[in-house]
Amino acid sequence: MINDTPKELNPDQEIGRLIDEVMSSSLTDEQYRKKMQRRKEVQEKRIAEAVPEKGLIIVNTGNGKGKTTAALGMVLRSLGHGYKVAIVQFIKGSWEPSEKRVFSYWEDQIEFHAMGEGFTWETQDRDRDLDKASAAWEKSLEYIRNPDFQMVLLDEINIALKMSYLEVEDVLAGLAQKPANKHVILTGRGAPAALIERADLVTEMTLVKHPFRDQGVKAQPGIEY
């Protein structure tokens, strides 16, 4: 029988090994029970040793859908806990998203600023885009520094960074000013390497299929906005 406590494995590796082993149909019921018990012990030890609380820098990037949607899920959780949240939109400002209407029910907890004027191919005015991105960043800094807000969502800021409307060094310097317990979420494809390196949690959405690209289906209410 394989030793369940090899010293050379870290907790992630050991849990991965245990998962692989319990998927084997050759295990007896007793072997399965012991391995699952060991997995429970490893997981409980990790939780017991974990830092109880830390304000996170969270990056949602990649070419797939769902970056803003995932961030809004965290916003909803924060509102449910009674926290104050600020949202600053850098690109999608020409839209009136349904999320903004829904969040109006928490108007005492949330502040929402749509400060872009649409996607870059719609504005066709680089100087104006630069001014709007700069104004959105200044507004973002107000919330990043404000200890009354537990979460700040900077929606599509990665696009502004990718288009060089903002400098990544300035954004990193601004993030360094946040209170220790504040969460900041930065969304948009093309997140720069320096931001990914600084972040605590990074998720890359991978595009596999898309109805517009593959079928010519336009953006729909309830799905895209």
Q: Pick from 187, 199, 196, 190: which is nearest to 90 by CA? A: 187
User: Which among 38, 65, 139, 189 is annotated as catalytic?
Assistant: 65
User: Which among 39, 67, 162, 182 is annotated as catalytic?
Assistant: 67
Q: How far apart are CA 162 and CA 158, in angstroms?
A: 6
- Residue 68 CB burial class (10 angstroms; 0-12, 13-18, ≥19): buried
User: Which among 61, 68, 158, 187 is annotated as catalytic?
Assistant: 68
Sign of CA dihedral 141, 146, 147, 149: negative
The yes-or-no answer on residue 84 being catalytic is no
The yes-or-no answer on residue 69 being catalytic is yes
The yes-or-no answer on residue 212 being catalytic is no
- Any residues with CB less than 8 A from the CB of 212 and at least 6 apart, and which? 218, 219
User: Which among 39, 60, 90, 156 is annotated as catalytic?
Assistant: 156
The yes-or-no answer on residue 119 being catalytic is yes
User: Which among 17, 34, 38, 119 is annotated as catalytic?
Assistant: 119
The yes-or-no answer on residue 5 being catalytic is no
User: Which among 63, 126, 138, 181 is annotated as catalytic?
Assistant: 63
Q: How far apart are CA 217 and CA 195, in angstroms?
A: 33
The yes-or-no answer on residue 156 being catalytic is yes
The yes-or-no answer on residue 68 being catalytic is yes
User: Which among 54, 77, 101, 126 is annotated as catalytic?
Assistant: 77
Residues labelled catalytic:
63, 65, 67-69, 77, 119, 121, 156
